[in-house]
Amino acid sequence: MGAAMTKTPPKTFHVKSFGCQMNVYDGERMAELLAADGLTATADAAGADLVVLNTCHIREKATEKVYSDIGRLRKDDPAKMIAVAGCVAQAEGEEIVRRAKVDVVVGPQAYHNLPRLVSDAVKGEAALDTDMPPLSKFDALPARRKVGPTAFLTVQEGCDKFCTYCVVPYTRGAETSRPFAEIVDEARALVDAGAREITLLGQNVNAWSDGDGRGLHDLIRALDRVEGLARIRYTTSHPNDMTQGLIDAHRDVEKLMPFLHLPVQSGSDRVLRAMNRSHTRDSYLRVIDRVRAARPDIALSGDFIVGFPGETEAEFAETLSIVAAVGHAQAFSFKYSPRPGTPAATMEGQIAAEVMDERLQRLQAAINRDQLAFNQALVGRHCDVLIERRGKQPGQMLGKSPWLQSVHLETSAPIGTMVSVELGHAGPNSLTAREISAERASVAAA
């Protein structure tokens, strides 16, 4: 790859992650690998000898951003080493080297080889690895060290569902689950390193299975017994994999937070079929009913796509009506973006940009209304807030409620403390709160 020219070995690095939380996790693991290899992390890309762009391929905009970032980095410092990791690396491979001069290309299943690829690039050798050996990378990663109060833990990767709009089955490969014991060990290590809350990650996290009949709920129940761990979350789930066992865990497991991200994408059965979602509007709503029966206060989140090929105004109205039926605590909505190689990209009836813009605006207005209503309904409630960082005002701290809302409060409790509060004013994106009591410092520091 590139001219066979040797480079100065990098001493400092910066990892920049785009896209989903799995990429955030992968970015942290790459940083740990490079640190274990003797490199020092820098706070920004400008000062680093090596920049790792950990990329997202999910929508065209995300992909194009990578190329503009590479261009900017190269212009500022032609000698800087650039590694492209993540889903764009997987999807485009050699094409990135042709389009933009980068030193390393490494896919999401091969990033444990990053240090070797960097030294290959230093020697002027080809440094591209987009192999997909199932999960062997986890064996090759260094132990977890210091982390903040909230941590991600990837337990499952890949997707077998093949929704017709989505690149994930191609960039992340087939559904694979990490072994039970390995996950519990990593959770313990994260708690020892300072985590109080762990979010289990997977493209289809609720499809996690150990092959011996154990499912995600068994994993959650095992983590429930990890001392020092206060909160468990998981994301992203598929409606068809919402087992009764998992729903029951929402009723029984106190550490499992009352929050569920369960994308429905559209409220129209015709569109859902064309998307190959394998659930219907009705089967989705029945899952929601069962979850709410188990955990009435659960905060529901979701993903929506507007302007899927062929979507009519009447079909879009069904999306608005499913939003009204569910009443989300928050949700993400996107304009359909044709992805190369996916079946939907060549479907007839691609929707004009202006139509998508207008639908997205109406959908987001509806979601924002529901989000504010959800927040307002909790005013006056007592709950715990896990302090995550300092706020903008002196004495103000920021944390999360059990329902994943951002909460601002005045407290002297340090980061990582669980504070018992009464929720006060509710805005669309956050709430204020009054401290009732905080854990004693010795507990917080444990």
| Contact pattern from residue 65 through residue 104 relative to ligand SF4, giving x for each residue in contact according to CB under 6 A and a dash for the rest | ---------------------xx-----------------
Site membership for ligand 5AD, residue 263 (CB under 6 A): yes
Distance of CA 323 to the CA centre of its chain: 22
- C-alpha to C-alpha distances, 100 to 1, 19, 38, 44, 97, nearest whole angstrom: 12, 20, 28, 21, 5
> What's 104's DSSP letter?
E
Stretch that binds ligand 5AD, among 126-134, 210-218, 334-342, 380-388 (CB under 6 A): 334-342
The entry of ligand 5AD, ligand SF4, none that residue 171 binds, CB within 5 to 8 Å by partner kind? ligand SF4
Q: Which of 31, 53, 167, 247 binds ligand SF4 (CB under 6 A)?
A: 167
The answer to the question of whether 383 is labelled as a binding residue is no
Q: Which of 321, 272, 241 lies closest to 163, judged by CA?
A: 272
For ligand 5AD, give the closer residue by CB, 278 or 432: 278
Q: In sequence order, what are the beta bridge partners of 215? A: 209
Chain positions 45 to 64 lying near ligand 5AD, rule: CB under 6 A, are 58-59
In the complex, least distance from residue 171 CB atom to ligand SF4, rounded to whole angstroms: 5
CA 255 – CA 234 distance, rounded (Å): 12
- Residues whose CB is less than 8 angstroms from the CB of residue 12 and which lie 6 or more positions away in sequence, other chains included: 39, 40, 41, 42, 47, 48, 49, 50
User: Can you count the helices (H) and strands (E) in the chain?
Assistant: 15, 20
Q: Which of 337, 371, 411, 417 binds ligand 5AD (CB under 6 A)?
A: 337
Site membership for ligand 5AD, residue 159 (CB under 6 A): no
Q: In sequence order, what are the beta bridge partners of 80? A: none
Rg of the chain taking only CA atoms, in angstroms: 22
In the complex, least distance from residue 177 CB atom to ligand SF4, rounded to whole angstroms: 16
Q: Which of 51, 53, 58, 409 binds ligand SF4 (CB under 6 A)?
A: 58
Chain positions 408 to 437 lying near ligand SF4, rule: CB under 6 A, are none
Q: Which of 166, 220, 433, 444 binds ligand 5AD (CB under 6 A)?
A: 166
In the complex, least distance from residue 162 CB atom to ligand 5AD, rounded to whole angstroms: 12
Site membership for ligand SF4, residue 23 (CB under 6 A): yes
CA 275 – CA 241 distance, rounded (Å): 17
Q: Which of 137, 161, 172, 359 binds ligand SF4 (CB under 6 A)?
A: 172
Q: Whose structure tokens read 């762009």? A: 53
CA 135 – CA 183 distance, rounded (Å): 13
In the complex, least distance from residue 69 CB atom to ligand SF4, rounded to whole angstroms: 15
Stretch that binds ligand 5AD, among 35-43, 208-216, 285-293, 333-341 (CB under 6 A): 333-341
Stretch that binds ligand 5AD, among 79-87, 146-154, 330-338, 429-437 (CB under 6 A): 330-338
Site membership for ligand SF4, residue 302 (CB under 6 A): no
Site membership for ligand 5AD, residue 277 (CB under 6 A): no
- DSSP result, 11-49: SEEEEEE-SSHHHHHHHHHHHHHHHHTT-EE-SSSTT-S
Cβ contact 300:326 at 8 Å:
yes
Sequence-separated contacts (24+) of 43-46 with Cβ below 8 Å = 43/14, 44/14, 45/14, 45/16, 45/73, 46/76, 46/77
Binding site for [4Fe-4S] cluster: which residues? 20, 56, 87, 159, 163, 166
Contacting positions for ligand 5AD (CB under 6 A):
58-59, 165-166, 263, 265, 303, 305, 334, 336-337, 339
